[in-house]
């Protein structure tokens, strides 16, 4: 049996599971492993230093796809207003030239890019943290929405809406298919969000704790061993809130934000992406940088292959959904 949803049909994938875009994680190997396992695997565009490097990474991912793969490859393109020097149009052109048929957009509304992608047969799923933003994206013409709840790693926005409410809002208010993003790592969660109206899930942190994730074993070990309460929020004072691993560096940043609210210059050296990259790719030191992870960490207790993770989640979801009719009984 398989779970067929609007998302599996839209992206022509076997399972309604998307590996979200992740800085210094979404490389060819992980994206291909997810696609080979029947999901939608995404290469993170801005992790690549240039559009030309992105083209090479896409080619590498294509070379890793098995003939038996029942999933697909796509690209995450996060459009950040503060990174004005980035040639987003050039990254867009690489994605179009690649022949891939899926793109996840995030950050600034992708108004200028949606039509260009769709004119080239590319389906667009846009990440939003409220249904208000999602409905705006619908009006832009996106094909699907990733609704990102407050539990998520990275940037949950400033309105702090948890997924139990956010996904129910999506089921009421959205007309295009949507997936639940943030805090998801089990099959029962997948089953529950399908009941709320979502057509699948988007996972980041859970895919970090897999064999194919290209990050240091020290980081994976922390994801497996750290329980509830292992994340915290930084950069709230500059309205760019990020959920990160609760470590010495994160607590120092919180102290500085309290002392110098709104002064990004006081925390800049601590939150630089290069620190993040070194932790993930070189040292595995969980305390030396600010690095994103979500509250789902409390549900992670192993580091399986992407195939075992996806197959296990889908099986658990199917079993949970089969139990559903048992709760309905005739009146006594």
Q: What does the pLDDT look like over 51-68, one tens digit per residue? A: 999 999 999 999 999 999
Distance (Å, rounded) from C-alpha 135 to C-alpha 266?
36
Q: What are the angstrom distances between the C-alpha of 264 and each of 17, 128, 260?
A: 36, 24, 9
Pair of tokens at residue 314: 């889908």
The fourth-level CATH superfamily of domain 7-213 is: Aldolase class I (3.20.20.70)
Token pair of 29 as six digits:
């190997």
For position 330, what pLDDT does the model report? 77
Residue written as tokens 């393109």?
77
| CB neighbours of residue 66 within 10 Å | 10
CA 209 to chain centre: 13
Number of residues that make up the chain: 332
Quote the tokens at residue 271: 């939150």
Average pLDDT over residues 24-52: 97
Q: Calculate mean pLDDT across residues 190-204.
A: 98
In this structure, is the dihedral angle defined by the CA atoms of residues 324, 325, 326 and 332, taken in order, positive or negative?
positive
% of the chain with per-residue pLDDT over 90: 91
> Among 29-33, 175-179, 261-265, which is the least confidently predicted range?
261-265
* pLDDT tens for each residue of 139-149: 999 999 999 99
CA distance 175 to 297: 31
Q: What is the pLDDT of residue 42?
A: 98
Give the pLDDT confidence of 74-131 residue by residue, as tens digits.
999 999 866 568 899 999 999 999 999 999 999 888 888 999 999 999 999 999 999 9
Rounded to the nearest integer, the mean pLDDT of the chain is: 95
- Position with higher pLDDT, 1 vs 288: 288
Domain locations along the chain: 7-213, 217-295
Percent of the chain with pLDDT over 70: 98
Q: Considering just the CA atoms, what is the radius of gyration of the chain in Å? A: 19
| Tokens read off for 74 | 């796509």
pLDDT at residue 332, as a whole number: 66
- Inter-residue long-range contacts of 319-327, CB under 8 Å, 24+ positions, other chains counted: 319/187, 320/187, 320/188, 320/191, 320/192, 321/191, 321/194, 324/195
Residue 252 has pLDDT above 60, yes or no: yes
pTM of the prediction? Answer: 0.96
236: left (phi over 0), alpha (psi -120 to 50) or beta: alpha
Assess contact for 251 and 245: CB atoms under 8 A.
no
Residue 142: both structure tokens together: 């996106």
Residue 21: is its pLDDT beyond 80?
yes
Check the CA dihedral 174-179-180-182 and report its sign.
Answer: negative
């Amino acid at each position: 049996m398989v779970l067929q949803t609007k998302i599996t049909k839209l992206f022509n994938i076997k399972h309604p599971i998307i590996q979200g875009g992740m800085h210094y994680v979404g490389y060819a190997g992980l994206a291909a492993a997810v696609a080979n396992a029947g999901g939608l695997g995404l290469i993170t565009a801005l992790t690549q230093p240039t559009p030309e490097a992105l083209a090479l990474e896409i080619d590498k991912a294509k070379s890793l796809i098995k003939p038996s793969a029942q999933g697909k490859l796509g690209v995450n393109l996060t459009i950040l207003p503060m990174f004005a020097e980035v040639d987003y149009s050039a990254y867009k052109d690489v994605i179009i030239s690649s022949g891939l048929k899926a793109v996840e957009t995030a950050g600034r509304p992708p108004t200028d890019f949606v039509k260009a992608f769709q004119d080239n047969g590319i389906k667009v799923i846009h990440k939003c943290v409220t249904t208000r933003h999602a409905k705006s994206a619908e009006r832009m013409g996106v094909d699907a929405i990733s609704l990102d709840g407050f539990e998520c790693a990275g940037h949950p926005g400033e309105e702090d809406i948890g997924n139990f409410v956010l996904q129910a809002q999506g089921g009421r208010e959205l007309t295009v298919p949507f997936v639940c993003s943030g805090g998801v790592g089990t099959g029962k969660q997948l089953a529950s969000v399908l009941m709320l109206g979502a057509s699948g899930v988007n996972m980041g942190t859970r895919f970090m704790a897999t064999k194919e994730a290209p990050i240091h074993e020290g980081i994976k070990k922390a994801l497996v061993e750290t329980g509830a309460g292992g994340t915290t929020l930084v950069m709230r004072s500059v309205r760019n809130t990020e959920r990160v691993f609760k470590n010495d560096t994160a607590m120092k940043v919180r102290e500085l934000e309290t002392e110098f609210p709104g002064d990004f210059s006081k925390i800049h050296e601590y939150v630089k992406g290069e620190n993040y990259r070194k932790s993930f790719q070189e040292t595995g030191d969980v305390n030396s940088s600010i690095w994103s992870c979500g509250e789902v960490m409390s549900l992670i207790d192993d580091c399986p292959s992407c195939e075992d993770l996806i197959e296990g989640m889908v099986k658990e979801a199917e079993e949970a959904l089969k139990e559903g009719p048992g709760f309905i009984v005739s009146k006594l």
